[in-house]
């Protein structure tokens, strides 16, 4: 009985607090959402003191490393080969339009200059510099937007209490002040929103660690939107978007996909969409992970994402010395060769008009439809009826005409005998 009452009380209290109620995005924010969707392709960067161990960004939790031992890591983090211009140039060469980087991951270590705690890169590492500053400046110089990943979950701060589902082996005292933790988090977010010029937005993660806690999301979201109204807020909570969020992301799944257990409850909302994926199996640098996706697989994921009306945020986990490993660099340059040739079928498009199919996807701009034929075994392909009559069909690569017939059931395309091994893109111009 007591338990039931508690549950009811928790529900009635927490529901209205799940976001910035009454949020009206500013004109600048709405414009940024359009920019974001046009951009379609970004670079995700997971980089932190965990990179030193070469065992992924979850190493503190997975190897049950207590705070006292984990705190030895910053002394070994000295990325003397870090060159912001190289990273940004590489992203640009791949055809990426923005970068999203871990400013703080679950381990709680700030990869930026923070005054609210000395658990940060400037105070605790021999490097003593703020790489977010260098990246922000370089992104501005090269015309990319910079987003900050920020983990709401924290395995280091004792005020992250009561603890959530993870981080139980960090050896922290069984006490702490949750309101003080939220103040700390909001103070760090204020730093990220005031010290680095105009940023693209904040990519939250870790909410899922304490889904029943009162995160006072409305306060945090209002703070961000007040400091930078154009900044886009997204949260990787695997739920429907909350009021105050500006885009919705999916981890290791296309929108609506269910391949990951944590996506079992995810639902697609009405906001701009993004999906993120790793280039091997790891987000943070992993020295033994050789499960590299091929360039072809990466490009086809970008195509499938665009056809699902979503951006693709492709991850790299730089090494502790600041370099990006050659396996990633090679693939990114190859992806760039493809995007520079086929980019018009991706950038500035929206998914559709035909929903994704096993044979491939469609993207569109205005009255032009790009049919991305990925896995169509037959010599012809039937498209369901389109919103307007097809006036011409041609290959994007080379411009050769593609035969088509319009009938009662839709449009039948005669596919070229020689298919592109990655993606055969057919351009349809529809009547206005
Ligand atoms: O930042 C990246 C991940 O660290 C973070 N989100 C992306 C963008 C993330 N946090 N949790 N999860 C993803 C899902 C949890 C996966 C886990 Fe595991 C499975 C945690 C423990 C088992 C993968 C395998 C990570 C550690 C071992």
Question: Mean pLDDT, to the nearest integer, of 405-429?
Answer: 97
Q: Which two tokens stand for residue 382?
A: 């039937």
pLDDT in tens, 131-150: 999 999 999 999 999 999 99
Mean pLDDT computed over 23-32: 98
Q: Which residue has the higher pLDDT, 279 or 8?
A: 279
Residue 196 CA, ligand 1 centroid: distance in Å: 28
- How many Å lie between the centroid of ligand 1 and the Cα of residue 290? 18
Separation in Å, CA 300 to CA 27, 277, 305, 352, 402: 34, 12, 8, 16, 22
Q: Which residues line ligand 1 (CB under 6 A)?
A: 46, 57-58, 62, 205, 236, 251, 262, 276, 283
CA of 78 to the centre of ligand 1 (A): 25
Q: Do strands 368-373 and 424-430 pair parallel, antiparallel, or not at all (unpaired)?
A: antiparallel
Residues in the chain: 432
- Closest among 317, 316, 324, 314 to 277, alpha carbons compared: 314
Average pLDDT over residues 194-217: 98
Q: How confident is the model at residue 4 (pLDDT cuts 50, 70, 90)?
A: very low
**Beta-bridge partners for 148:** 101, 202
Q: Whose CA is nearest to atom 15 of ligand 1?
A: 262
**Cα(283) to centroid(ligand 1), Å:** 9
Q: What pLDDT is recorded for position 6?
A: 46
Among candidate residues 334, 330, 299, 340, the one with its CA nearest the CA of residue 424: 299
| pLDDT tens readout for residues 142-173 | 999 999 999 999 999 999 999 999 999 999 99
| High-pLDDT (> 70) share of the chain, % | 96
DSSP per-residue string spanning 377-403? -SSEEEEPPPSS-EEEEEETTT--B--
Residue 400 scores a pLDDT above 70: yes
Confidence label for 265 from pLDDT (cuts 50, 70 and 90):
confident
CB neighbour list of residue 426: distance below 8 Å, 6 or more residues apart: 370, 371, 373, 393, 394, 395, 396, 402, 413
Q: Minimum mean pLDDT among 2-11, 54-63, 257-266, 289-298: which range?
A: 2-11
Spatial separation of the C-alpha atoms in residues 359 and 356, rounded to whole Å: 8
**206 CA: nearest ligand 1 atom:** 10
Instruction: Name the more confident of 75 and 1.
Output: 75
Q: How many Å apart are CA 200 and CA 10, to the nearest integer?
A: 34
The pTM score is 0.95
Choosing from 106, 164, 205, 207 the residue with most ligand 1 atoms within 8 A of its CB, the one to mutate for a pocket test is 205
Return d(Cα 23, Cα 319) in angstroms, integer. Answer: 40
Residues 6+ apart with CB under 8 A from 352: 307, 309, 362, 363, 364
Q: Which residues contact 226 (CB under 8 A, 6 or more apart)?
A: none
């Amino acid at each position: 009985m007591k338990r039931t009452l508690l549950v009811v009380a928790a529900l009635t209290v927490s529901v209205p607090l799940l976001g910035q109620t009454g949020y009206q995005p500013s004109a600048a924010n709405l414009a940024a959402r359009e920019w974001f969707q046009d951009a379609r392709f970004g670079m995700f960067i997971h980089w932190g003191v965990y990179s030193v161990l070469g065992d992924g960004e979850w190493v503190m939790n997975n190897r049950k490393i207590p705070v006292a031992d984990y705190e030895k890591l910053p002394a070994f983090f000295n990325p003397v080969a870090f060159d912001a211009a190289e990273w940004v140039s590489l992203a640009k060469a791949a055809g990426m339009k923005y970068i999203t980087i871990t400013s703080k991951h679950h381990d709680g270590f700030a990869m930026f200059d923070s005054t609210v705690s000395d658990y940060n890169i400037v105070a605790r590492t021999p490097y003593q510099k703020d790489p977010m500053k260098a990246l922000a400046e370089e992104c501005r110089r090269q015309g990319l937007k910079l987003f900050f990943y920020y983990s709401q979950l924290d395995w280091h701060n004792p005020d992250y209490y009561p603890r959530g589902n993870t981080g139980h082996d960090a050896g922290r005292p069984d006490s702490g002040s949750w309101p003080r933790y939220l103040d700390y988090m909001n103070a760090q977010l204020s730093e990220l929103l005031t010290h680095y010029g105009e940023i693209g937005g904040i990519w939250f993660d870790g909410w899922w660690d304490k889904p029943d806690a009162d995160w006072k999301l409305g306060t945090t979201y209002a703070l961000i939107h007040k400091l930078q109204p154009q900044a886009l807020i997204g949260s990787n909570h695997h739920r429907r978007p909350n009021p105050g969020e500006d885009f919705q992301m999916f981890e290791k799944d296309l929108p609506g996909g269910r391949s990951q257990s944590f996506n079992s409850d995810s639902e697609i909302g009405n906001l701009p969409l993004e999906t993120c994926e790793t280039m091997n199996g790891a987000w943070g640098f992993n020295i033994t992970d050789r499960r590299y996706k091929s360039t072809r697989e990466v490009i086809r994921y970008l195509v499938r994402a665009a056809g699902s009306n979503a951006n693709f945020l492709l991850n790299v986990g730089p090494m502790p010395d600041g370099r990006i490993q050659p396996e990633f660099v090679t693939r990114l340059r190859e992806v760039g060769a493809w995007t520079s040739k086929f980019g018009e079928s991706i950038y500035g498009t929206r998914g559709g008009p035909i929903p994704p199919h096993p044979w491939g996807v469609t993207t569109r701009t205005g009255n032009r439809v790009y049919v991305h034929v990925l896995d169509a075994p037959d010599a012809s392909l039937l498209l369901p009826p389109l919103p307007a009559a097809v006036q011409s069909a041609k290959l994007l690569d080379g411009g050769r005409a593609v035969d088509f017939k319009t009938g009662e059931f839709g449009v039948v395309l005669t596919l070229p005998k020689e298919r592109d091994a990655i993606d055969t893109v057919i351009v349809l111009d529809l009547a206005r």
